[in-house]
């Protein structure tokens, strides 16, 4: 595997491979950019089929965090980490403490929080070896609540443009990954707004209580979520769900959800435009969690600041969607152009400041 020639490398500043045979830790930490401050982004644990797939995931996620943080105008850079889940039984606390030791070796250039299959208690274990973790129970807590709130507001902005109104009462929404940390909170927001929900998850049994609580329908076969006739498809699981095998099956007018890297390739953004489906760029709509985390990184950013920032984020998404409609171009491309331009400007400013 040649890292520098990897399609997703994108001039990452650092990539650290960390192992600990005693705990079974196999982790990859990717620092994409620190031009605005230390790289901040979550850690996810997943059963990757190969180390190559883990590398691809962490590189794409890390770049996405840089774009997310710069679009949200936060004074931080972008990074991400993944842990290849050990086979069989393992000591979870010991594993994350070993992760904390590896994180500490980066000297604060990367600050981690929780992501898929990682909880605040895991970050507590990591904190035994490093202070470079956030999203802690005694801090701002689980960032998924902030992510869910921001995605809900983003869905409103998308609905205003794709359905003609922010009002979600009676709007049919197919939610993928509904039992996850973000998915559960988001579904409650959507149900409170009167949306008609169709829920799917790899763990179908985990949906029973939620569906009963929200009077929602369960899609028994997780793969069938792409075939649901709805107004909005809301992916809240893993990435690359908009791909050549799924895009033709969508029967929706909007794709707007919490998952990272929803488009398998940039070309999928063009294909959504051709099919008349509005797409809310994932790293714009799902930035509520990292905004919430800022309250833990800097005491100046309190709950009122977070609430105001979410309103600004909703407006930013609206502006991107409006520009995409005017130019008949993918919203994902518009967002990428803005992010790259801001990162380039920040790099020049940092260079001038040092010089």
Model confidence over 191-246: pLDDT tens digits? Answer: 999 999 999 999 899 999 999 999 999 999 999 999 999 999 999 998 899 999 99
Give yes or no: residues 92 and 160 share one domain: no
Confirm whether 134 is domain-assigned.
no
Pairing of strands 217-218, 110-114: unpaired
Residues carrying an active site annotation: 80
Confirm whether 29 is domain-assigned.
yes
Give yes or no: residues 122 and 157 share one domain: no
The mean per-residue pLDDT over the stretch 19-38 comes to: 97
Confirm whether 9 is domain-assigned.
no
Give yes or no: residues 188 and 84 share one domain: no
Which residues in 267-329 belong to E strands, given as ranges?
278-279
The mean per-residue pLDDT over the stretch 58-72 comes to: 96
Confirm whether 309 is domain-assigned.
yes
Confirm whether 353 is domain-assigned.
no
The mean per-residue pLDDT over the stretch 88-110 comes to: 97
* Residue 241 belongs to domain with CATH number: 3.40.50.720
Give yes or no: residues 98 and 163 share one domain: no
Provide the 10 A C-beta neighbour count for residue 265. Answer: 13
Model confidence pLDDT, tens digit, residues 130-157 = 999 998 876 666 778 899 999 999 999 9
Looking at the predicted structure, is the pLDDT value of residue 270 above 80?
yes
The mean per-residue pLDDT over the stretch 25-35 comes to: 97
First to last CA, the chain: 37
Cα separation, 249 vs 228, in Å, equals 9
Give yes or no: residues 60 and 179 share one domain: no
Looking at the predicted structure, is the pLDDT value of residue 355 above 60?
no
What are the contacts of 164-168 at 24+ separation with CB within 8 A?
167/193, 167/194, 168/193, 168/194, 168/195
Model confidence pLDDT, tens digit, residues 279-292 = 999 999 999 999 98
* Residue 96 belongs to domain with CATH number: 3.40.50.10860
Tell me the pLDDT of the chain averaged across its residues. Answer: 94
Number of domains in the chain: 2
Question: Where do the H-state alpha helices sit in 27-129?
Answer: 51-71, 92-104, 120-126
The mean per-residue pLDDT over the stretch 292-313 comes to: 85
- Identify the domain containing residue 269 by its residue range: 144-339
Looking at the predicted structure, is the pLDDT value of residue 261 above 60?
yes
**In the structure, what pLDDT confidence band is assigned to residue 352 with cuts at 50, 70 and 90?**
confident
Task: Decide: 18 and 68 in contact? Cβ < 8 Å.
Answer: no
3-state SS of the chain: helix, strand, coil percent to 5? 45, 15, 35
């Amino acid at each position: 595997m040649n890292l520098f020639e990897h399609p997703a490398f994108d001039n990452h500043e650092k990539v650290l491979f960390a192992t600990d045979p005693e705990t079974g830790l196999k982790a990859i930490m990717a620092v994409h950019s620190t031009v605005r401050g230390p790289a901040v982004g979550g850690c996810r644990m997943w059963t990757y089929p190969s180390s190559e797939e883990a590398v691809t995931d962490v590189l794409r996620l890390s770049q996405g965090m840089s774009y997310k943080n710069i679009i949200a105008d936060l004074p931080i850079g972008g990074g991400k980490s993944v842990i290849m889940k050990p086979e069989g039984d393992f000591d979870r606390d010991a594993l994350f403490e070993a992760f904390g030791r590896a994180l500490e070796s980066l000297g604060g250039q990367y600050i981690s929080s929780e992501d898929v299959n990682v909880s605040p208690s895991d970050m507590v274990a990591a904190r035994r070896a490093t202070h470079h973790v956030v999203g802690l129970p005694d801090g701002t807590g689980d960032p998924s609540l902030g992510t869910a709130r921001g995605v809900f507001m983003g869905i409103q902005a998308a609905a205003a443009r794709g359905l003609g109104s922010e009002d979600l009462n009676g709007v049919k929404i197919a939610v993928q990954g509904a039992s996850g940390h973000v998915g559960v909170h988001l579904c409650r927001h959507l149900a409170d707004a009167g949306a008609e929900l169709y829920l799917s998850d790899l763990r179908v049994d985990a949906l029973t209580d939620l569906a009963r609580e929200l009077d929602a329908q369960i899609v028994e076969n997780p793969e069938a979520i792409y075939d649901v006739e709805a107004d909005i498809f809301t992916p809240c699981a893993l990435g690359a769900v908009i791909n050549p095998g799924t895009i033709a099956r969508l029967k929706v007018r909007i794709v707007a959800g919490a998952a990272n890297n929803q488009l398998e390739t940039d070309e999928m953004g063009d294909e959504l435009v051709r099919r008349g489906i509005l797409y809310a760029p994932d790293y714009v709509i799902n930035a509520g969690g990292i905004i919430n985390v800022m309250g833990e990184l800097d005491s100046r950013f309190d709950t009122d600041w977070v609430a105001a920032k979410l309103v600004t984020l909703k407006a930013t998404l609206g502006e991107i969607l409006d520009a995409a409609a005017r130019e008949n171009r993918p919203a994902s491309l518009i967002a990428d152009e803005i992010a790259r331009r801001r990162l380039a400007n920040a790099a020049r400013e940092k260079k001038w400041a040092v010089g």
